[in-house]
Every structure is written in structure tokens, then in C-alpha cells.
């Protein structure tokens, strides 16, 4: 595309170097060429998007470019409602009238900021499980190598940004579903503090874990989007009425005085991992130190217990939502959805209560940890994207490889940014966590890292640059 990042596109739009219609035409051309192969979209809104882009061009021409995202093409994960059409949750089971086809608060905020909604992107069924070739939905594929997965469940937003089908988009994150696809597709994505972004108008998976958040090429892009998305909305009982800063204004590039904790015994040091992981992580930490931060050893408290608590909580809360349909429409669900949510009755009410007690203890211990450090850094995952063939057989190894769900249990903000390529030439991600409601410092660290690295600007062989999957 003419501009690879939202921040660059905004500069180009405001200077008249490019029009919103030109940006959208480039995005549509990418989708026309690669959508069928990569499985980016479930529905495209080309006509409505063209009208929105034309309106943005009129605003720029009139010298009235109000809106932080005016003219920016954006994709929406298809578990979030939009006025253009039904929200399918990529499922045969889901009621197409759910949400009454209204914009979710986050979509309304993007539109109010001038965003151009290009369509609804692929996900995993109800934002859980795995692709199912037996069902009539696209299989999301990684633009770096279409034989590999995007990660889930914000799959189409992840590969759409990486391929250039739009410049940013919305994902959701219950156990890592923003950060996993961001890492596997070589882009950036942030799960804000639980309650920071309203999640009404989003098909629920785990009521006490779900988050909506931005995915884009850079941490700066995520900061621009999060400033628009964040803030209280009475329609979400979990929303927190906390002041929202200008996140982009916090991106100084200077990390002087910040203490960054790294756990030398963390899970990514054990078991299977990409041969390049250690080297890339050390290089990333060195960059953060060069920007002024001090790196100190820490121990993440109750890592196994909190990770298990996320699993118990998400499955139990999902079963509470799906129980009637699971009983009456079992075969209509994806196989992996049946396996995951269908196993929830094995947990007792006492198990669920105990998981919440573990989460509360974990929150206190993590808060104590953040009295000694400002940020914590880990890999987003120990490995790069899994091959699609054999994905189901990978089983628990897929979950052990991810280092995301711990932070859903405690609710802290967590950002994934690209930190290089692994042994199979697929992207690996760096995960940065901070104190509750301190997304500004998390984003500042991610942006400082990206000011002196260019992993986030690397592009797969799509959008006419070469070929993909040939």
C-alpha cells in the first residue's frame, strides 16, 4: 500500500499526498487478489466503504479533517456487531439477528473518528477452537506462508493487516486472541486493561475475560486506535470509568528510569521453543536497555495456576452461554468447539469458584510485583505459527507455547510487537505488560523498540510485491 502504517497514512492524507479513496482502492485490490487464498474476510462492505472514503475526501478537501482515523481502512472481527449486516461469529449455530445489526460501541467510536469499515474478518467459531474444513467457512492462512495458521481467534484481522487488506482493525482477546495472531502474522496488537474498552456488542466467550482491542502494524498505530476505543460505556457492566489519556502523546521514545522485569525461569525457557527465540529475546531486551530502561530478573507468581484459572474460567463461562445450543445442535458446532466448550461440564461449580479465588490472589501478587518494576517482558509465544496440516493433532502443545492467558487472568494490559523471524522464517512476537490502566507506558515501550527496529514494517510477499503461496 501507499502507506503501511496508520500514522504514515494520516500524514499522507493530511498533506494531500494520497486520498482516502486511493487508500481504500489499494486495500480492495489486495483483498480481490488474496482474500480467497488467505481467508481474510467473511463479509466485505466495498460499497459502504467507498462512500465513507468519499466522505473523508470531502472533509479533507474542505479543510475539516476532524477525526483521528479519518479515511483509514479498518477491518472488524466478525463477533462484533456492525450496521452493515449480520454478525455470524463464523458459526452455523449463531443467530444472525443477534445484536439487532447495530454498531457495537467500539465500531461507533471508529466511525465517529472517521474510520472506513471495510468488512467483517474471519475468526474461530465463537472466538474459540480451531478452523474446521468440514464447515462452510474460510480457513485463515498466514500471509508469510499460507501452509501455516494465523493463530486465533482474531485471525482475519491479523492476516488482513499483514497482507495490506486494511491498515488496522479490531480483534478480541480472552486468552491471547489479539496477541497470538499479532505475533504469528508479524504485526502489533494490544489487550488493554480489562474494562478499559467496552465489549458490549461482542458475542461473549468468557464474560470476565473478554477484551476488544486494536491490531495494526505498529505500537503507535495501536495507540492512535486505543485512544479512540477506550473509555466508559454504560452498556457494558464491566466497563470502568477511568480517564483515557492521549496514548500517542505518551510515545516519547525515551525509557529512562523504567525497570523491566524478565523471568529467567519463565515458561518460555522450558519445553519446545523456536531455536531463534532466545537470541531474538536477548536482542530485544538490549534495544530496550539502549532506550534507557534497566532490565532486572523477576519471577511471575503462580504462573501455572493463573494460566489454568483462565482455561477453567473461559470454558465455564462459555458453556453457560452455549449450553442450550450444544444440547440441541451439537453437530452444527465446529469439532474443536465441541471439544473445548463441551468439556466444561467436567468442571464443578467449586472448580469455577476456586479459579476466581486464584485470580484474586494472583492479582494481588502481580500488583506487588509491579511495585518493583514498571513493565514485564516475555515472548508472546515460544514458537512461530503452526502448520495447518496437523494443527488439531498439536493439541496442548499449542497452548503451552503461548504466554498470553496469564495476563487475561489478572487483567493487566499486554502488547505484542514483532521481534524478528524464527528458524522457519515466520514472525515471532515480543510481549510487554504493565500495571492496570497504564497502557501508556506499555505502548511507549513498544514504540521505543519500534523506533530503532523495523520488524513491524516487514511485509509478506503479498499485495503485488511478489507472489504468495506459489
Q: Which residues are catalytic?
A: 77, 153, 177
Region for 391 from its dihedrals, namely left if φ exceeds 0, alpha if ψ lies in -120 to 50, beta otherwise: alpha
Q: State the cell numbers at 186.
A: 508479524
Q: What is the DSSP letter of 125?
A: G
Q: How far is CA 1 from CA 110, 128, 197, in A?
A: 21, 31, 29
Closest CA to 122 of 97, 147, 87, 146: 87
- How far is Cα 141 from Cα 163, in angstroms, rounded to an integer? 11
Q: Name, in order, each residue with C-beta under 8 angstroms of 157's C-beta and a sequence gap of 6 or more.
A: 75, 76, 77, 121, 169, 170, 171, 181, 215
Element (H, E) at 229: helix 219-229
Q: State the cell numbers at 387.
A: 502448520
Q: What are phi and psi of 417, to 5 degrees?
A: -130, 150
Q: How far is CA 366 from CA 192, 300, 301, in A?
A: 16, 7, 7
Strand partners for 261? 296, 376
Contact (Cβ atoms closer than 8 angstroms) between residue 313 and residue 208: yes
Q: What is the DSSP letter of 304?
A: H
Element (H, E) at 188: strand 188-191
Dihedral of CA atoms 295, 298, 304, 307 in degrees, nearest 10, equals -50
Q: State the cell numbers at 413.
A: 494490559
C-beta neighbour count of 394 within 10 angstroms: 16
- How far is Cα 361 from Cα 301, in angstroms, rounded to an integer? 10
Strands 41-44 vs 259-262: parallel, antiparallel or unpaired: unpaired
Q: How far is CA 246 from CA 5, 220, 228, 257, 456, in A?
A: 18, 11, 9, 21, 22
Q: What is the DSSP letter of 344?
A: G
Q: What is the DSSP letter of 262?
A: E
Amino acid at each position: 500500500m501507499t502507506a503501511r502504517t496508520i500514522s504514515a497514512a494520516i500524514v499522507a492524507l493530511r498533506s494531500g499526498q494520497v486520498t482516502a479513496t486511493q487508500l481504500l482502492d489499494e486495500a480492495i485490490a489486495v483483498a480481490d487478489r488474496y482474500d480467497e487464498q488467505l481467508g481474510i474476510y467473511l463479509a466485505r462492505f466495498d460499497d459502504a466503504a467507498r462512500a465513507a472514503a468519499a466522505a473523508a475526501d470531502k472533509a479533507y478537501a474542505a479543510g475539516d479533517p476532524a477525526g483521528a482515523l479519518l479515511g483509514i481502512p479498518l477491518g472488524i472481527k466478525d463477533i462484533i456487531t456492525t450496521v452493515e449486516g449480520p454478525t455470524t461469529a463464523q458459526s452455523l449455530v449463531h443467530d444472525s439477528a443477534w445484536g439487532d445489526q447495530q454498531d457495537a460501541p467500539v465500531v461507533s467510536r471508529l466511525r465517529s473518528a472517521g474510520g472506513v469499515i471495510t468488512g467483517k474478518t474471519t475468526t474461530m467459531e465463537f472466538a474459540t477452537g480451531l478452523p474446521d474444513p468440514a464447515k462452510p467457512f474460510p480457513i485463515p492462512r498466514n500471509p508469510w506462508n499460507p501452509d501455516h495458521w494465523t493463530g486465533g481467534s482474531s485471525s482475519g484481522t491479523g492476516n488482513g493487516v499483514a497482507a495490506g487488506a486494511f491498515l488496522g482493525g479490531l480483534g478480541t482477546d480472552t486468552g491471547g486472541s489479539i496477541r497470538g495472531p499479532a505475533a504469528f502474522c508479524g504485526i502489533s496488537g494490544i489487550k488493554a486493561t480489562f474494562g478499559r474498552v467496552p465489549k458490549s456488542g461482542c458475542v461473549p466467550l468468557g464474560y470476565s475475560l473478554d477484551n476488544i482491542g486494536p491490531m495494526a502494524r505498529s505500537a503507535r498505530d495501536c495507540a492512535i486506535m486505543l485512544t479512540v476505543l477506550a473509555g466508559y460505556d454504560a452498556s457494558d457492566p464491566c466497563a470502568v470509568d477511568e480517564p483515557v489519556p492521549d496514548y500517542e502523546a505518551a510515545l516519547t521514545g525515551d525509557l529512562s528510569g523504567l525497570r523491566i522485569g524478565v523471568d529467567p525461569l519463565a515458561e518460555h525457557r522450558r519445553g519446545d521453543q523456536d531455536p531463534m527465540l532466545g537470541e531474538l529475546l536477548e536482542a530485544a531486551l538490549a534495544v530496550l536497555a539502549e532506550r534507557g530502561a534497566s532490565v532486572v530478573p523477576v519471577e511471575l507468581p503462580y504462573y501455572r495456576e493463573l494460566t489454568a484459572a483462565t482455561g477453567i474460567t473461559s470454558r465455564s463461562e462459555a458453556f453457560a452461554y452455549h449450553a442450550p445450543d450444544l444440547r440441541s445442535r451439537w453437530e452444527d458446532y465446529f469439532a474443536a468447539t465441541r471439544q473445548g466448550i463441551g468439556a466444561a461440564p467436567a468442571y464443578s461449580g467449586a472448580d469455577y469458584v476456586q479459579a476466581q479465588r486464584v485470580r484474586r490472589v494472583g492479582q494481588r501478587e502481580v500488583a506487588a510485583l509491579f511495585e518493583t518494576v514498571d513493565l514485564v517482558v516475555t515472548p508472546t509465544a515460544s514458537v512461530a505459527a503452526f502448520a495447518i496440516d496437523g494443527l488439531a493433532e498439536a493439541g496442548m502443545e499449542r497452548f503451552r507455547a503461548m504466554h498470553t492467558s496469564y495476563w487475561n487472568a489478572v487483567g493487566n494490559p499486554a502488547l505484542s510487537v514483532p521481534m524478528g523471524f524464527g528458524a522457519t522464517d515466520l514472525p515471532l512476537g515480543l510481549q510487554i505488560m504493565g500495571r492496570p490502566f497504564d497502557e501508556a507506558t506499555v505502548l511507549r515501550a513498544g514504540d521505543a523498540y519500534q523506533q530503532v527496529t523495523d520488524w513491524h514494517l516487514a511485509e509478506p510477499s503479498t499485495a503485488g510485491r511478489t507472489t504468495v503461496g506459489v
